[in-house]
Structure 1
Amino acid sequence: MNMITNPILTGFNPDPSICRVGDDFYIATSTFDWFPGVQIHHSRDLVHWHLLTRPLTRVSQLNMKGNPDSCGVWAPNLTYKDGMFYLVYTDVKRFDGRWKDTHNYLVTATEIDGEWSDPIYLNSSGFDPSLFHDEDGRAWVPNLLVDHRKGKFFGGIVLQEYSYRERRLIGEVYYIFPGTGLGVTEGPVLFKRNGWYYLITAEGGTEYNHAVTLARSRQITGPYEVHPTNPVLTSAHNPDLYLQKAGHGSVVSTPDGRWYLTHLAGRPLTPRGRCTLGRETCLQEVVWHEDGWLYLKSGGNEPQVQIEAPDLPVYRWEALPERCDFEDETMPIDFQSLRVPMDETWVSLRKRSGFLSIKGRESLCSTHHQSMIARRQQDFNFTATTRLEFQPDTFQQMAGLTYYYNTRHFYYLFMSWEESLNSYVLNIFVNDDNRWSEPLPEYIRLEKGEVWLRATVQREKLNFSYSIDGNTWQEIGGTLDASIISDDYVCNKFEYKAAFTGAFIGMCCQDVSGRGKWAYFDSFEYKPLL
């Protein structure tokens, strides 16, 4: 018997939207302030998945320059109808305070890994829109309604018709669902079966009280009755579960008629603790009972780590290489940039053959022009290694390896210039909610502007090291707390509620003098550890 092991998409892949086209399954997940926008993974057996594409590749589709941390692309929704893929998403421009600026868009493509259209503007009344294609040829967009009055915020679910011909929302806005007593109702997704309209929502907040709720109605505009044993899925009542924070779901049927629910979950380092891997994507099998409601096949409402896979041919994908030597002129798909697209003005695989060249721009605390190329942490234990060539002229020029959550929380092992020593130097910066520390008691002098840098993460422990020859390594800075690179630390310690991403590890360069010094990286290796 073939089994699905959760999570199926590891490391910062939240808010999954699943779609089947023939024998192919696709899942779209949120990318927030990382560019290109939206991750789409592909599978043919629901067991093995690979990252296929990120469709929002142009500024005309997604302009995030200046977006606050953890804003940008929220909760994409992927659907397919009559030869066309539809992707609906929110670009969040502001989230703290009473008012939220949440703009919703739709893009289309005939090939999922091809070029996607420029966006169609939908509305700005809230976030988490989705698109439902009804059997009668009409289409509808539900979304959360943001209500700023008296600090309410989560104002229920509204619905409006979408016109394929006019390429816009039309007609009356219907208030269809206030949510249940779980509260924090978001993530609405509609589907239809046997004359019933089913509404899936995420409730309880995307932390340890998260849940999947199901409601239904004979009319798309409501009223909606709630599932008799709501919630359908949650880990809120069992801190011992391996998969926590279970919620935000969508469903898919297989060619042989089985049904699966995809949802997000987190794997904390300690019970109800910090999740450095962010919110990940899981699958649960669900079944229809005679009462016309979906239930977990396993019984109850708690997520399972292993579930039975559908009876489909096994289809494995070639694994991405652990090491990249930057010999090609195409950036490896696992790398992203922050907020702005990669272009030859600041990052290049052609400027110097065999190197990733990065031009120093603004600081790691900037929300506009950061020069960082990074990838997700997808394992509790890993090493990341790079070789850097850099000739800084001033202490304002830096380049190196960063373990990064957001502009207020990161670790940075970097090379710079220290005029008092007349030397290249290594140093470490720790940014903990904009409270800075330097774990090195003194600078490490380098004879040349060439050095290997390494970060080793073992669950909550982070250690940096360096090498002059790539063979002999020297640990520096002691053991650091990797767990602060997590939603839970940022949210719970500082009550900064817009923290929804995950840990990244990558290469960067800063030149706050404005001279635009380039750094050159001739390799990068991400290696999981047992």
Structure 2
Amino acid sequence: MTFAPEPPRGLRNPILPGFNPDPSIARRGDDYYIATSTFEWLPAVQLHHSTDLAHWELVGHAITDRRIDLRGIHPSGGVWAPCLSVDPEDGRFYLVFSIMKSQTVDVFDVDNFVIWADEITGPWSEPLYVNSVGFDSSLFHDDDGSKWLVTLEWETRPGYQHPGSIVAQRFDPATGEVGAPVRIHQGTSDRGALEAPHLYKRDGRYYLMTAEGGTGYGHSVCLARAERVCGPYESDPIGPFLTSAPQPYFGRDYRDFLRPEFFNPDAPMQKAGHGSLVESTDGRWWVAHLSSRPLPGTTSCVLGRETSLQEVRWNDDGWLRMTTPGPMPQEYVDLPGEDISTSDLDVEMGAAGALSPHFASLRAPIDPSWCVSAPEGLRVRGRDSLHSRFDVSLVATRLRAFTAVAETTFEAAPVRYSQAAGMTLFYDDRNFLFARVSWSEQYESRTIALVRARTVDEFDEVLVEQPIPDGPVTVRLQVDQGLATFAWRPEAGAWHDLGGSVDSQFMSDDVIRGFTGQFIGMAVVDALGKSLEATFTDFAVRYPAAEVRDAADDRRLPTHTTP
């Protein structure tokens, strides 16, 4: 008699699926919190809450208004690598974040800010500028009451080690005073691409956790320790204690961050790195880290970088080690819990156009000047094209699984080709699919078209265009393992195919060399007079069936690469 293998037990990673990178985890009492990066999307810094490390809820954002200015920010710029911490003296939350303004010729123009709040849901303070020395700044609360900013100092000079050193600066939030930067570390491993420093203290020692190896397939989490906050720091003798690519390699001063040559077909989770440490209420230790899931058989991570969780322990020599053999991240962890239910991922617009925290906009917050919740639905006024880095009328939500169905019903009356409204599968201002209703002189009527924009193309490609009658239109998008299929129907009419299945793998970090992920949203464009209004009476993204994460045993190197 043969028996089917027993399914793995415990909680399945990622715990925050879809575009949720650079996690910073903290605990206050019995409650756990994770902050994740949002880049050019607003509201800024997603804030998640849990009481058991297994079930997480998006409870809000740190910045929901115009306290930061992201208009004009390049794709994958904006709000990077938030660090969430709790002051042990008064329980106040502190959040440090970077705004990456420019990365021209490898000179990074970046400003770092600190905000604070008594409750995770706010209100949060006005941003306090602290430095521009580099990015991935974090805040450490020492047990003597002092506070330290720890940042990667970005090195721009030829002949010096790239990307630079970790620096520490004493910080007084009461006065805003920031001390002179002191270089304390240049990397635990030889992987290079040093970043994401976090300081911790245990048994009188200071521990510096860093990400090394680039934020791609050579990524990792490393540790060093010292007797004093400013060092000297001793490197962990094994190098990375968490990585999807355990083989040693030399990558110092290597500028590529994706490093696809280190794709590891044996790793359950890819791109593991950028870790943050927390002790749970039962005395166990956990590292929240970013990870990615390529589409089976490829290295195309269309969902972007996600958040996973691993259990670690302190060994007898005082170093962190995985509780499982070796440094590779595990898909399942020893926590009570089940796979994330597909219904838990569903996102929909509420009655009268109400929007949950899962909806976002580009570079400026949603406000009544262009987007209004009304009894009839969400009323959106068209502004710039989807290629703009300024005033884009787009309301979208993250794609959080490889299989999804999105649907929206809307009404719009364009009178010129430069006016449009519809649904988009969107990565950035150079890469998207747009199923849009517009006006055509050729047909002398409204039309619906599927438009594809890609970095490699000189102009937007209209894949298909069809005349449609007046009245409301419903658009449906089916996403399935890297293929996007749009359809439409008139009010109370039959469904019509719109262009067939289109490969959407070109919208991935690995092809675009970006840091975000795919979004599904409602968009309105008006290059005529910025006056076209579309009313979306409903919008929903549903994940109707549990996806098969291991659909292909053949986890080969990319079949889809940059043209």
Coarse TM-score class (shorter-chain normalised): over 0.9
Q: Which residue of 2 aligns with 1:300?
A: 326
Letter in 1 for 2:164: G
Deviations 1:442-484 (A, max 9, x none): x311111421111111011111111113563221212211111
Q: Which residue of 2 aligns with 1:110?
A: 118
Q: Which residue of 1 aligns with 2:259?
A: none
Task: Summarize the Cα distance change of 1:323–1:145 in structure 2 as closer, same or farther, 3 Å threshold.
Answer: closer
Is 1:34 aligned to residue 49 of structure 2? no
Deviations 1:390-420 (A, max 9, x none): 0011111001000000001101100001123
Is 1:80 aligned to residue 86 of structure 2? yes
Using structure 1 for the length normalisation, give the TM-score.
0.94
| Contact 2:20–2:305 (8 Å) recurs in 1 | yes
Q: Which residue of 1 aligns with 2:370?
A: 346
2:104 is paired with a residue whose SS is: coil
Instruction: Provide runs of 4+ in structure 1 moved above 4 Å.
Output: 316-321
TM-fit CA distance, 1:323: 6.2
Is 1:178 aligned to residue 200 of structure 2? no
2:521 is paired with a residue whose SS is: strand
Q: How many aligned residue pairs are there?
A: 515
Instruction: Determine which of 249, 258, 263 is the counterpart of 2:289.
Output: 263
Letter in 2 for 1:174: V
Whole-Å separation in 1 of the counterparts to 2:65 and 2:123? 10
Q: Which residue of 2 aligns with 1:234?
A: 243
Whole-Å separation in 1 of the counterparts to 2:401 and 2:380? 26
Q: Which residue of 2 aligns with 1:91?
A: 99
TM-fit CA distance, 1:277: 0.9
Letter in 2 for 1:34: W
Whole-Å separation in 1 of the counterparts to 2:288 and 2:344? 24
Whole-Å separation in 2 of the counterparts to 1:404 and 1:28? 23
2:44 is paired with a residue whose SS is: coil
Whole-Å separation in 2 of the counterparts to 1:87 and 1:408? 31
Whole-Å separation in 2 of the counterparts to 1:209 and 1:425? 47
Task: Summarize the Cα distance change of 1:132–1:204 in structure 2 as closer, same or farther, 3 Å threshold.
Answer: same
Whole-Å separation in 2 of the counterparts to 1:524 and 1:468? 16
Q: Which residue of 2 aligns with 1:495?
A: none
Is 1:3 aligned to residue 1 of structure 2? no
Q: Which residue of 2 aligns with 1:371?
A: 393
Deviations 1:11-52 (A, max 9, x none): 010000000000000000000000010001111111111111
Q: Which residue of 2 aligns with 1:529?
A: 544
Q: Does 422-431 or 270-279 show the bigger shift?
A: 270-279
Whole-Å separation in 2 of the counterparts to 1:80 and 1:329? 36
Q: Which residue of 2 aligns with 1:65?
A: 71
Residues 183-202 of structure 1 mapped to structure 2, 5 A cutoff: 183-202=192-211
| Contact 1:390–1:518 (8 Å) recurs in 2 | yes
TM-fit CA distance, 1:519: 0.8
Letter in 1 for 2:461: E
Q: Does 143-152 or 110-119 show the bigger shift?
A: 143-152
Instruction: Determine which of 477, 481, 506 is the counterpart of 1:484.
Output: 506
Letter in 2 for 1:261: V
TM-fit CA distance, 1:201: 0.4
Residues 40-59 of structure 1 mapped to structure 2, 5 A cutoff: 40-59=47-66
Q: Which residue of 1 aligns with 2:223?
A: 214
Task: Summarize the Cα distance change of 1:272–1:426 in structure 2 as closer, same or farther, 3 Å threshold.
Answer: closer
Whole-Å separation in 1 of the counterparts to 2:310 and 2:449? 46
Task: Summarize the Cα distance change of 1:515–1:259 in structure 2 as closer, same or farther, 3 Å threshold.
Answer: closer
Instruction: Determine which of 500, 504, 508 is the counterpart of 2:515.
Output: 500
Whole-Å separation in 1 of the counterparts to 2:341 and 2:486? 33
Task: Summarize the Cα distance change of 1:413–1:329 in structure 2 as closer, same or farther, 3 Å threshold.
Answer: closer
2:136 is paired with a residue whose SS is: coil
Q: Which residue of 2 aligns with 1:140?
A: 148
TM-fit CA distance, 1:98: 2.9
| Contact 2:359–2:396 (8 Å) recurs in 1 | yes
Task: Summarize the Cα distance change of 1:198–1:515 in structure 2 as closer, same or farther, 3 Å threshold.
Answer: closer
Instruction: Determine which of 318, 333, 339 is the counterpart of 2:357.
Output: 333
Long gaps (5+) in structure 1? 492-498
Is 1:286 aligned to residue 312 of structure 2? yes
Using structure 2 for the length normalisation, give the TM-score.
0.88
Residues 416-427 of structure 1 mapped to structure 2, 5 A cutoff: 416-427=438-449
Whole-Å separation in 2 of the counterparts to 1:325 and 1:188? 38
Is 1:407 aligned to residue 429 of structure 2? yes
| Contact 2:473–2:488 (8 Å) recurs in 1 | yes
Deviations 1:361-396 (A, max 9, x none): 001000000000000000110011000100011111
Deviations 1:323-361 (A, max 9, x none): 6454246421110000101110100003xx131111000
Whole-Å separation in 2 of the counterparts to 1:515 and 1:114? 34
Whole-Å separation in 2 of the counterparts to 1:5 and 1:117? 36
Instruction: Determine which of 510, 519, 530 is the counterpart of 2:525.
Output: 510
Whole-Å separation in 2 of the counterparts to 1:470 and 1:116? 47
TM-fit CA distance, 1:513: 1.3
Letter in 1 for 2:285: W
Letter in 2 for 1:138: S
| Contact 1:35–1:340 (8 Å) recurs in 2 | yes
Is 1:520 aligned to residue 535 of structure 2? yes
Instruction: Determine which of 389, 396, 404 is the counterpart of 2:418.
Output: 396
Task: Summarize the Cα distance change of 1:122–1:325 in structure 2 as closer, same or farther, 3 Å threshold.
Answer: closer
Residues 114-133 of structure 1 mapped to structure 2, 5 A cutoff: 114-133=122-141
Alpha-carbon RMSD across the aligned residues, in angstroms, is 2.0
1:483 is paired with a residue whose SS is: coil
Whole-Å separation in 1 of the counterparts to 2:422 and 2:534? 9
Task: Summarize the Cα distance change of 1:43–1:515 in structure 2 as closer, same or farther, 3 Å threshold.
Answer: closer
| Contact 1:49–1:317 (8 Å) recurs in 2 | no
Deviations 1:128-178 (A, max 9, x none): 0000000000000110011111175411101100013212312x3110001
Task: Summarize the Cα distance change of 1:149–1:233 in structure 2 as closer, same or farther, 3 Å threshold.
Answer: same
Whole-Å separation in 2 of the counterparts to 1:405 and 1:169? 37
Instruction: Determine which of 488, 491, 497 is the counterpart of 1:469.
Output: 491
| Contact 1:439–1:477 (8 Å) recurs in 2 | no
Deviations 1:259-313 (A, max 9, x none): 0011000000135610111100001000111101110001210000111127xx9
Whole-Å separation in 1 of the counterparts to 2:467 and 2:97? 48
TM-fit CA distance, 1:514: 2.4
Identity of aligned residues (%): 41
| Contact 1:48–1:317 (8 Å) recurs in 2 | no
Whole-Å separation in 2 of the counterparts to 1:29 and 1:130? 13
Task: Summarize the Cα distance change of 1:416–1:294 in structure 2 as closer, same or farther, 3 Å threshold.
Answer: same
Q: Does 245-254 or 235-244 show the bigger shift?
A: 235-244
Task: Summarize the Cα distance change of 1:51–1:515 in structure 2 as closer, same or farther, 3 Å threshold.
Answer: closer
Q: Which residue of 1 aligns with 2:253?
A: none
Q: Which residue of 2 aligns with 1:456?
A: 478
Q: Which residue of 1 aligns with 2:21?
A: 14
